[in-house]
């Protein structure tokens, strides 16, 4: 199975497993197009993956929603709240910066944490994202979502060639699949080792369920091929 199978799976509303690289987080995420998410998908994410269920957004969507990186908020508020300066994530061992932005709940949810509530939030983020691709949607964002919430948002960098995190890799896959470039992603963890699920175990999981397991380098190679990029 390769990129083509992964793109078809995403377009059909199925899960795909995505490994970034051994040089980076060296983690496998369970990935799906946000527009397709229903409550039972959230159940799978928390039961089978077990990491943090987040929504990654295309750079243009995040920009048109006015989403700041959380570190930008920390920097702006650190003069008033000194603790924010002290906890700044300047020492990440695998990246230059964190992709985290705000966390939200849709205003139609109750507590926001149930599988039903999170599915609604995730799905509605995709719907808003489709509109935000073409212009500013800051006011609409505020009308429909509240923060803090239970769904962390991850704005993607402008290009997967600039940053190769699961955020950028998954959004790039969604864009190439022709679906709304808003994805739900969740790290796969191992309850036996209490660490990230190994690539070998992730491969077994994928094979048992007929899912595609893809490496980040495959996504980047296809992205380069489609754009005629060299090297």
The rounded percent of the chain whose pLDDT value lies above 90 is 89
Domain that holds residue 223: 3-67+102-227
Identify whether 105 is a catalytic site residue. Answer: yes
Task: Give me the number of domains the chain comprises.
Answer: 1
Residues 164, 216: contact at Cβ < 8 Å? Answer: yes
Choose the catalytic residue: 5, 26, 94, 204: 94
The rounded percent of the chain whose pLDDT value lies above 70 is 98
Residue 115 sits in a domain of what CATH number? 3.90.870.10
pLDDT in tens, 9-36: 999 999 999 999 888 889 999 999 999 9
Residue 85, in any domain of the structure: no
pLDDT at 209: 97
Rounded Cα–Cα distance for residues 106 and 181 (Å)? 19
Is a pLDDT exceeding 80 seen at residue 88? Answer: yes
Residue 54, in any domain of the structure: yes
pLDDT in tens, 140-182: 999 999 999 999 999 999 999 999 999 999 999 999 999 999 9
Is a pLDDT exceeding 80 seen at residue 95? Answer: no
Identify whether 29 is a catalytic site residue. Answer: yes
pLDDT at 197: 97
Choose the catalytic residue: 48, 59, 150, 218: 150
Q: Strands (DSSP E) along 156-196, which ranges?
A: 182-187, 189-190, 195-196
Choose the catalytic residue: 105, 175, 205, 223: 105
* Mean pLDDT to the nearest integer, 80-88: 92
Residue 151, in any domain of the structure: yes
Identify whether 175 is a catalytic site residue. Answer: no
Choose the catalytic residue: 25, 54, 69, 168: 54
Mean pLDDT of the chain: 95
Residue 90, in any domain of the structure: no
pLDDT at 92: 85
Confidence class of residue 139 from pLDDT cuts 50, 70 and 90? very high
Residue 223, in any domain of the structure: yes
Identify whether 54 is a catalytic site residue. Answer: yes
For residue 99 the two structure tokens come to: 């992709």
Residue 96, in any domain of the structure: no
φ/ψ of residue 83, rounded to 5: -60, -30
Q: Is 151 exposed, middle or buried (0-12, 13-18, 19+ CB in 10 A)?
A: buried
Residue 134, in any domain of the structure: yes
User: Which DSSP symbol is given to 158?
Assistant: S
Residues 122, 81: contact at Cβ < 8 Å? Answer: no
Rounded Cα–Cα distance for residues 216 and 28 (Å)? 10
Identify whether 192 is a catalytic site residue. Answer: no
Is a pLDDT exceeding 60 seen at residue 231? Answer: no
pLDDT at 136: 87
Residues 180, 36: contact at Cβ < 8 Å? Answer: no
Rounded Cα–Cα distance for residues 183 and 179 (Å)? 10
Which residues fall within 8 angstroms of residue 90, CB to CB, at 6 or more apart? none
């Amino acid at each position: 199975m390769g990129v083509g199978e992964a793109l078809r799976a995403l377009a059909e509303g199925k899960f795909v497993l995505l490994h970034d690289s051994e040089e980076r987080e060296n983690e496998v995420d369970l990935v799906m197009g946000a527009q397709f998410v229903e409550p039972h998908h959230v159940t799978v994410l928390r039961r089978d993956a077990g990491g943090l269920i987040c929504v990654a957004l295309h750079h243009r969507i995040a920009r048109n929603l006015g989403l700041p990186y959380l570190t930008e908020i920390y920097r702006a508020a650190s003069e008033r709240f000194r603790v924010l300066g002290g906890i700044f994530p300047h020492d990440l061992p695998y990246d230059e910066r964190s992709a985290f932005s705000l966390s939200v709940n849709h205003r139609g949810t109750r507590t926001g944490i149930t599988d039903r509530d999170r599915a609604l939030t995730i799905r509605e983020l995709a719907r808003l994202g489709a509109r935000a691709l073409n212009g500013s949607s800051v006011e609409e964002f505020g009308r429909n979502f509240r923060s803090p919430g239970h769904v962390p948002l991850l704005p993607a960098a402008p290009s997967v060639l600039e940053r190769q995190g699961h955020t950028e890799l998954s959004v790039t896959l969604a864009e190439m699949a022709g679906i709304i470039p808003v994805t739900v992603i969740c790290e796969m963890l191992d309850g036996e080792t209490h660490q990230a699920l190994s690539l070998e175990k992730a491969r077994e999981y994928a094979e048992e369920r007929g899912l595609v397991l893809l490496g980040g380098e495959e996504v980047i190679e296809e992205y380069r091929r489609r754009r005629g990029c060299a090297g």
